[in-house]
Amino acid sequence: MGAQSTKKIRARAALGAVVAAGIAAGLLATGGGTASADVVKLSQKYTCEFPIIGADPITINIEMDMPKTMKVGEKVPAFPVTAKTEVSARAAKGLGVATARSLEGKATASVNVHRPQIEQPLKIEVPNDVEKANIPSPAAAFTVNSKGESPGDLLTWTKPGKASFDVVGLDLHDMIARNSAGEPVDLDTGEPHDDTKPDTFKAPCKLQDGQPTKIAEMEITDGGGGTVPTESTEPTESTEPTESTEPTESTEPTESTEPTESTEPTESTEPTESTEPTESTEPTESTEPTESTEPTESTEPTESTEPTESTEPTESTESGGGGIPYNFDLKGNSFIKAANGNTPLSGSINTLYDLDKGTFTADLKLNPTTGSFSILGFLPTQTDIKFVQTAKTTGTLDETGTMASHSEMDVYLTSVRPFGIPIGGGEKCKTTEPSKIDLKGTNFVPNKGGKLTTASYKLAGLNDQCGMLGGIISAFMAGDGNTIDMDLTYKK
């Protein structure tokens, strides 16, 4: 009899192990379909701070397989997570302008686990790998897929009741944008940017107001005594000091603790109703002036502070409102046809790029310079020149890197010196009308720069503030056929 009894016990134990293994496998199965696991879904909108484009919205659609019920004493296993993130056409355009053709990286979701009868949520992070996605050209909205797994064995249920899981945050990090050759594109403009990893960028995200967070609920049932031994293993949770007080559960009769219901004598303590004088304290109603303090409702302007949502225009400010700043140093040369000579150019151009429209406005500053000319073909002449912008520089830049700009400026000749002898010019000596300069370039990258040239521009004649020989000087400077070549270098 003893031997048979032992065999039966072993058989039951083996059967229990097989069943447990089957349950665990079901929980970890990606396809779901088991009685104990269901597909749970959550869709959320975030605003993420990207290099180049600034604040931009994304929508993330998350799916997980999770059981509806578990038992006290069971450890929560790792659950597979998949997500599809919808990225805007604006982001595609910004990345495209920077010559990026694909995107990949990592994402980390912040999750709060609300445990039965425990006030403080357990905070966990769920890492995901962002799969490589091609950036559409011409720019269009696109979807990025990611996969991950919630950390397993971090939590053992210790009390019965309802548990829930809330996704409360998201960060994109170690993101890599690659060009058509597969090389990393350094999006080194503005913040956020991780200078210790020049080939990557990060994009911290903020959950938009009013977005849902709960992805799943789970009923934790009493282990029924058989699972209690697993509770003895809960000292693993005793590492959760806050729950170390759970040894009160070692009094196992968590049900006996149900006397907390027996503590319903709190109803016997219904004197607490006698304490209804707290109603007598209804003077607190008399303190309804506290309603007068409803100005606290006036503090509802805190809702008015919902303009913090209006601050979402921080997105709009990145487009038509303020634009994306790109600043460049410039260096180049201008050939003056009539004077048969060259003028070195240097300075800067600070632009605000409207990504949505593909246009920009800019402040162009050219430093004073000295040109070397050969008047009459043999008379070497040094001319000091100053440029003053008369209108904002405007232009366009598309995803292919084709750039065009238009500038207007007055040209001043502050001194004209053949053989080093001053013969004219002055602080008020300038062209009678602004010169209109149209520059074009290809393969221009906003966070690097590029080369710009002009086919031809015209210098108008000089005014009457250039000295006695001003007319002669004007004749040897004015005319068409002048050219500019310049290199713009991105300035951090």
- Cβ pair 155, 81 in contact under 8 A: no
pLDDT of residue 441: 95
Q: Judge whether residue 81 has pLDDT over 70.
A: yes
Least confident interval from 75-84, 190-199, 234-243, 471-480 = 234-243
Other beta carbons less than 10 A from residue 342's beta carbon:
14
What region, left, alpha or beta, does residue 197 occupy, with left being phi > 0 and alpha being psi -120 to 50 degrees?
beta
* pLDDT band of 29, cuts 50, 70, 90: very low
Structure token pair of residue 423: 């013969």
Dist CA 464 CA 436 (whole Å): 21
pLDDT of residue 32: 34
124, 119, 197: which is closest to 154 by C-alpha? 124
Q: Fill in the DSSP letter of residue 184.
A: B
Mean pLDDT of 142-151: 94
Condensed to tens digits (0 to 9), the pLDDT of residues 266-280 reads: 343 333 333 343 333
pLDDT of residue 143: 97
The rounded Cα 459 to chain-centroid distance in angstroms is 46
* pLDDT band of 53, cuts 50, 70, 90: confident
pLDDT of residue 40: 95
Please report, for residues 162, 382, 388, 402, 440, the alpha-carbon distance to residue 488 in angstroms, rounded to integers and kept in the order given.
62, 26, 19, 14, 12
pLDDT of residue 414: 95
Other beta carbons less than 10 A from residue 221's beta carbon:
14
- Cβ pair 450, 444 in contact under 8 A: yes
Dist CA 251 CA 264 (whole Å): 20
The H or E element that residue 237 is part of is: helix 235-238
Exposed (0-12), middle (13-18) or buried (19+): which is 326, by Cβ within 10 Å?
A: buried
3-state secondary structure of 416: strand
Condensed to tens digits (0 to 9), the pLDDT of residues 331-382 reads: 999 999 999 999 999 999 999 999 888 999 999 999 999 999 987 667 889 9
Q: Spell out the domain ranges in the chain.
A: 26-258, 318-490
Residue with token string 């269901």: 38
CB half-sphere exposure, 15, CA atoms < 13 A: 6
Q: Give me the amino acid identity at 456.
A: S
Mean pLDDT of 136-159: 92
pLDDT of residue 303: 40
- Cβ pair 469, 430 in contact under 8 A: no
**Residue 154 phi, psi dihedral angles, 5° rounding:** -90, -15
* pLDDT band of 486, cuts 50, 70, 90: very high
pLDDT of residue 378: 74
Other beta carbons less than 10 A from residue 36's beta carbon:
16
Dist CA 24 CA 4 (whole Å): 30
The H or E element that residue 23 is part of is: helix 2-28
pLDDT of residue 124: 94
pLDDT of residue 446: 87
Per the prediction, the chain carries an average pLDDT of 77
Condensed to tens digits (0 to 9), the pLDDT of residues 350-360 reads: 999 998 889 99
Least confident interval from 16-25, 70-79, 389-398 = 16-25
H helix runs in 245-365, sequence order:
247-250, 259-262, 265-268, 271-274, 277-280, 283-286, 289-292, 295-298, 301-304, 307-310, 313-316
